Structure 1
């Protein structure tokens, strides 16, 4: 069940403004855009994916996962599985009495608003303190501030809420959301990383398509209504977008406007977002949802470009069929630049390398790259991106690159997330890997080459 499609002009959108936004993303040296779906008045008016990315590819959403979690909490509240005014600790009676009194004052509503009162993100501390039960590892450390009064982006606060929902529901988050949200919205299989086994992370780890992001944004924009039916609990979308805590200590302007239940207030509208440029931007005044997947460490630049180019494009008469067609053609031809290089090296080029935890060797006209856990067999010098779908032992990846004299340079674009690994195989036999955006594993996730989604569960 896809969102309905329309032309920009039919929904009062200037195609040139959308094109200018795309141009701005591509022109920024630190942004690799992956996919975009723009919705106005409930209709997709622009969509595109930068090859080697495709519409049906699951993409790691990082902290945009949190907005799906807060949606799950709405159902759990409606069903009486929990209350926003429950103490988090009361859902863990097996260790509640071990906790400092200040930790026992953290309510579900505080944790959901990143207002547990801790002064720093407790992610590493929680998993180090108790790797078997990170909720206990988190709550054993008393917050420095009164819960509800102090914002800190604090991953285990959200992990704890996710654990409460799953414990009360008797299933993981995907299983819980499937009949309540995912099926009604027509969302195909998604996957959510787990730790420990059977418990979805909640604060990160969801893999979904760009259109799934757009559907989540649209159902929140419409106050929970989807195709004329009330899908979200009545009033929950308004609860999510209500400002709960000040964030004025944040450095970027669109992060300093306040925080709701797993969404950021912004200079325009509000949003869920995730590390390295995963966005679900909701603009109620314009009746717009912008879903974007990308790879960047400059997320503010994406929002700046949206305010500069997209906002003026809404509420106009449209620019007609020619402009709409030109935009569609532009979006249909999107591609990330590939790394060049020849299929063969110089006469003195090496055939094997080792270093930085990797080994590589020439084999059958390509190179075999391994990290002790995952092995990838990569072509060389194809002149563009070659997609390798992977298997049980290797993730889907696109590769480009080749020889420049006696140096072999390869770019590995992991297709289920915002990570690209640049690898140089040097004449002296060493290997130099460099991430474009470094994977955030929180001590829970993957090997260097194993940046992949878990098998879809529902």
Structure 2
């Protein structure tokens, strides 16, 4: 099918299905692409029933959009932090520079930063190549990330180059986010642009990706190994471009040779045949079972490409067990994919479309109000000393959108919430008391609240540009002069933090 025909087909599809809104992808019923709608639905239902918590999913077959959906309050087109899935985009920038002849992946890393080397560089440091950064075989015994970012120096490149390189580069696999940062630094050294600036006209604009952002180090270099924020559909288009050997709409964005190299197993990384993290590692891509490959990021960010099936699956989420999600793909979705088109199944296709439209995380369950609310209205509770740096909270129960107004040592956060629905808002976080730099600054938040008991208020807030969900439980005394707050940030591990507060 020509591009013109595909474009016309996509326009027509938009008239009959909501699946292709704001897409550059042609939407069809799954059966037309040889996929059982019932199998897709089985995967989606298992995903939402067995995993806490899915945010969004987009599935492509043969370049056609066969299913997409977002669990409210997550929305289409909204950017989502990718964490280490960012690495695959940094790799693509390196590949483009290699295509342009501006670097060779066998260039020594030290050749790019002669002014930042230690006084007596080790032989292992001098032997480290761009290839070794890409394949996570830079030679360090442990990930360098914390040592680079928490050294107290704002010069992360110099810090990285000062670290001991215990193994001969190219011989020892160690997942190393600091190495990806160095790839970003090399891009900026060669081009004078951040990875984001470099990729915007070469990758993001051709793919129709708008509003991408990327975190930077103190010296303005994109973090490379994490920090990119784009939407689920954008991830899917990136995966489709890779599946098409670097081509998009008839234009070669990155060479087919680079895609082949980057997504092939460049180094072994384990021997467990049941683990999708032991199938080999490429250039910032993981090999997967069933001859697949992927970029992935913490808490459930996936760009999964299955060349044998011509399938791309993009996922955003907020959960810890990422292998569980891939297991669901292999269990439910893979068997539903066939080599040839299938007879139309309007009932199953309609059921799937309806399911995808209705995806949602339920608002907090409970009562809309409590007799205690009137006593709490306008009261300020002062917290005992605590590790979250919370100072006080003031409640406002006027109207149908109550609020809990927190004062911290760093800023003020006002959570508006409602019963039976999500309230969208922007909240500024200078610090959340958790190890997640991506939660600083202004964040879109959706909150809901309800009274689980007459003396117990539950509040849930999704930070909808991130994997994180904040759960708060307020247990009040009968006189409404004291309370205990239990607070937990999902999907981070650990027990809820309990803090006592009282009216002074």
C-alpha change, 1:357 and 1:151, in structure 2 (3 Å) is same
RCO higher in 1 or 2 (8 Å CA, sep ≥ 6)? 1
Residue 9 of structure 1: aligned partner:
31
TM-score by length of 1: 0.90
Higher alpha-carbon deviation: 344-353 or 82-91: 344-353
C-alpha change, 1:166 and 1:224, in structure 2 (3 Å) is same
* Superimposed CA distance per residue, residues 255-287 of structure 1 (whole angstroms, 9 cap, x where no aligned partner): 011100111011121110000010000000000
2:443 maps to 1:395: yes
TM-score by length of 2: 0.83
Contact 2:136 2:176 (8 Å CA) reproduced = yes
Contact 1:103 1:140 (8 Å CA) reproduced = no
Q: Distance in 1 between matches of 2:36 and 2:348?
A: 8
Q: Which residues of 2 match residues 25-44 of structure 1 at below 5 A?
A: 25-28=47-50, 30-44=51-65
Residue 325 of structure 2: aligned partner:
302
Q: Which residues of 2 match residues 293-332 of structure 1 at below 5 A?
A: 293-315=316-338, 317-332=342-357
Q: Which residues of 2 match residues 61-80 of structure 1 at below 5 A?
A: 61-80=82-101
Where in structure 2 are there 5+ consecutive unaligned residues? 1-22, 430-440, 477-481, 494-504
- Structure 1 residue 293, shift from structure 2 partner: 0.4
Residue 187 of structure 2: aligned partner:
165
Q: Distance in 2 between matches of 1:256 and 1:267?
A: 9
Contact 2:235 2:314 (8 Å CA) reproduced = yes
Residue 178 of structure 1 aligns to a residue whose secondary structure is helix
Q: Distance in 1 between matches of 2:113 and 2:42?
A: 51
Q: Which residues of 2 match residues 340-351 of structure 1 at below 5 A?
A: 340-347=365-372, 350=376, 351=379
Contact 1:88 1:161 (8 Å CA) reproduced = no
Residue 248 of structure 2: aligned partner:
226
Q: Distance in 2 between matches of 1:418 and 1:372?
A: 24
- Structure 1 residue 319, shift from structure 2 partner: 4.9
- Structure 1 residue 230, shift from structure 2 partner: 1.3
- Structure 1 residue 390, shift from structure 2 partner: 4.8
Residue 81 of structure 1 aligns to a residue whose secondary structure is coil
Q: Distance in 2 between matches of 1:108 and 1:265?
A: 20
2:280 maps to 1:258: yes
2:314 maps to 1:291: yes
The RMSD of aligned alpha carbons is 2.1
Larger gyration radius, structure 1 or structure 2? 2
Residue 102 of structure 1: aligned partner:
124
Where in structure 1 are there 5+ consecutive unaligned residues? 440-458
2:72 maps to 1:48: no
Structure 1 residue runs of 4+, over 4 Å off?
249-252, 389-393
Residue 363 of structure 2: aligned partner:
338
Residue 443 of structure 1: aligned partner:
none
Q: Distance in 2 between matches of 1:91 and 1:110?
A: 15
- Structure 1 residue 146, shift from structure 2 partner: 1.3
- Structure 1 residue 81, shift from structure 2 partner: 2.7
Residue 435 of structure 1: aligned partner:
489
Residues paired across the two proteins, number: 438
Q: Distance in 1 between matches of 2:417 and 2:369?
A: 8
Contact 1:340 1:400 (8 Å CA) reproduced = no
